[in-house]
Structure 1
Amino acid sequence: MRRHTALATVALTALALTGAAALPAQAAERPAAVSAQAQAPAATPAEAPTAQAQPAAAAKAVSVSVSMDQLGTGAAVANALKGISTDDRGSFVQQAVDKAFNASGGRHNVMLFNLSQGYNDQFQNTRIYANVQWGNIYYGLWIFESGTFTNTGDGGWINWGFRGWFDRNGGNVNFHRSW
């Protein structure tokens, strides 16, 4: 029993001398680098910097499955959306709508909507439809000529975005042809 106590004492002494015992909690995942040279004593909380550098949040992966493509630009739309690199949901929706509009030729209306929310769509001449997954959120992407869309769920950029020629009254949007 005495041998285990001696080893524990040596280990605790080594931690104290290297300053590893004073590492922040997130550093416990990575071993501390220890050099053969003498280490400076660890800073006390009063001397430690108040803000630590946080690693940047990883952008969510985007996957796109085009199930209808009457314009012949579905692959370009899918590639444009897959190129979005953000970890902000609202920013993703805004970028996706703009990129889909431009990649499809800029002549059709675009609607991106979170499929877990309630909605009613009555689009005429849908030219492209795709399922878009951003992280664990599933969106429907419609590129179409005209029609109406009613959002019966939550609004805001995190759940829906659209671009084109339209009149909006709350969650009801009436889209018109561009020509």
Structure 2
Amino acid sequence: MNRTIKERLKKMVVQSGQNWLTHLPAILMAIRGSPAKGTLLTPYQLMTGRVMNLSHPADPKISTPVREAAEKDNFIKQLLEQVQQYLHFAACNMAPKEKEHKGKPPISLKIGDKVMVKNFVPKSSWDANWEGPFVVTMTLSDQVVKVKRINLKNSKCMKKRGMERWVHADQCKRYNC
């Protein structure tokens, strides 16, 4: 996206000789009003639920949803429905990913599973790469889980025994005792 903006700015500055700041709003409006190949919708439509009004600012036209909606509540309901329709349409028409992730398959965790959690910030070079064991107490989705440290008698840190935290499933591995 930044490359597109830079190329268009360069072209406009070379053609007109004016400062790039004067052309930036027009270029951003053109990008926001251009339909995407995969969804056939513009970014403006996806964000606002309306077609971009490209009339002159002095033109006294009122946009269609405002004219049709007699009250503010009706307008907001119509706008919300329209945004939901556009987002559903865009999600259905998005192009599939070209490259599949070729790493290991994602881990699926359930409540009660025992896991170890990756230690990204070891305090010393002698610290273990994995902390735990933890037990999964809640799942937000199939990839985000809440874990709680299992109370072991030989646990060194008394403070960390009852702590709960949210982690991504990619940061976990099954604990086999």
Q: Which structure: greater strand fraction?
A: 1
- Settle same-fold status: TM greater than 0.5: no
